[in-house]
Structure 1
Amino acid sequence: KVPRTCRNFMALCTGERGRGRFTRVPLHYKGCPFHRIIKGFMAQGGDFSRRNGMGGESIYGERFEDEAAGLSMRHDVPGLLSMANSGPNTNSSQFFITFDEAPHLDGKHVVFGKVVKGMEVVQQMEEVQTDQNDRPARPVSIANSGILRHSQPRAQGPGMFA
């Protein structure tokens, strides 16, 4: 359902695309922080260039367009992965993981995946203390990233990333 969004996320997980044309930093989530955590809502990360929510880059260039199928998916359960954006067609590398349902995001953010293993880690992230700007008081980051290739069950639904 959302092949371009999934391809972008997977390539940023592996780092296979080298350096960004705009940011000049590796297009890779390894070591990338979650710069914003809001209890009961979501954790946002994916800004590997500025590391504060003001940067990032997609594998297609600075930004890429929304995929309609992803906009039609609902934010109705915890553990969904969606693209963070600053308005229509402004997807880059930033994404968020929901802690609860978030219907106010429906139609505004492309849903492209679901956490299928490790929700206990997501729940631990939700409990991290934050400052008045929702920044974690202690670092929360992606230690490493890549693609696991084995025969575990995939997430339900076409286009869902497991």
Structure 2
Amino acid sequence: MLARLKAAEPDFDRLLTIPEKPASIAAAEQAYQDAVAARQEGQQRHVEAGRRLAAQQLGQPPQISSADVEAIGRELAPLFEAEAVAKAKRDEENQAYQASLGSALEEPLRLYREAVDQALGRLENLLTYGPSFREKTKQAGIDINRFSTLPGVCPQLWERLNYVRVAFDRTN
């Protein structure tokens, strides 16, 4: 019966969820990764061409010229630019998503904070009963430790709970 009278606590498993990232973030990330791969491939071609030029033997027909290596090198500039544009787009999409999280998480986090605050308050209140009950049993000549040591450790529990309360109060 008491369970039916108790107010239902919000379902924090359901409430405390991170909003799904939009598909545009994944697309922007893929575009960035593709741009990085294209730039790396271009750099590899340029490095390989430079190695082939350096490895040419005198007295043999040239396989590659300096102009060829320079032409391959000039092809790198647009690849670096494309990578920078893709990175900026990806970062912009991520920033927009991050900015939208505040409003989506504000209410669930407020409810969660209130529930934790109430739970700490209830526990603090419950722990105040132990020492007074222990004192009553002493005055009545009863060794409460024969039955339970909980009333005797409530002051230590409350002290440690106070550390939790201090840390909790510092959260936003």
The answer to whether TM tops 0.5 is no
Length-normalised TM-score, structure 1: 0.18
User: What TM-score do you get using the length of structure 2 for normalisation?
Assistant: 0.18
Name the structure, 1 or 2, with higher relative contact order (CA <8 Å, separation 6+).
1
Which structure carries more helix by proportion?
2
Q: Which has the larger radius of gyration?
A: 2
More strand by share: 1
